[in-house]
Amino acid sequence: MRKIELRSLFDEALIAAGPPAVFTVDAKGQLGLDDWRTREHYGRIDLVPTREVCHCLYRDRVTGFVQYVLLTSAELCQSHPRQDITHFPDQSSALAALAALGNPPMSQEAITPDP
């Protein structure tokens, strides 16, 4: 499975050593900082998040749409009021699970990673 291209060197630097944040894929298929979602996630936690890269699939509970999300803190991806979050050990396994859902990636049930 191919890796997702990063939007910029700035995004690459943030993923490598920046503050904990949320990164999503844009309409061009590039992974980049999602400042709105980062603020939203920070607003739901009451601690200072620690750095740890997390590869997740987020499934919207209303529409069933699933997307890949990279976060640089496990505290930022523990729960979400509108999304089911599934954690994967790496980007390739998350992208493989996403690809298996078809195009567009939809699921009526929460995603479970392969053991």
pLDDT digit string (tens) for 51-92?
Answer: 999 999 999 999 999 999 999 999 999 888 899 999 999 999
The Cα–Cα gap between 97 and 81 comes to: 22
Average per-residue pLDDT in the chain? Answer: 92
Are 4 and 30 in contact, with CB atoms under 8 Å apart? Answer: yes
pTM, two decimal places: 0.91
Measure the N-to-C terminal CA separation of the chain; round to a whole number of Å: 18
Instruction: Examine residue 106 and state whether it is found in any structural domain, yes or no.
Output: no
Considering its fold, how many domains does the chain have in total? 1
Instruction: Examine residue 115 and state whether it is found in any structural domain, yes or no.
Output: no
Quote the domain boundaries for residue 92.
9-99
Burial environment of residue 77 by CB neighbours within 10 A (0 to 12, 13 to 18, 19 or more): buried
Instruction: Examine residue 4 and state whether it is found in any structural domain, yes or no.
Output: no
Q: What does the radius of gyration of the chain's CA atoms come to, in whole angstroms?
A: 13
Instruction: Examine residue 58 and state whether it is found in any structural domain, yes or no.
Output: yes
Instruction: Examine residue 112 and state whether it is found in any structural domain, yes or no.
Output: no
The answer, yes or no, to whether residue 114 has pLDDT greater than 70, is no
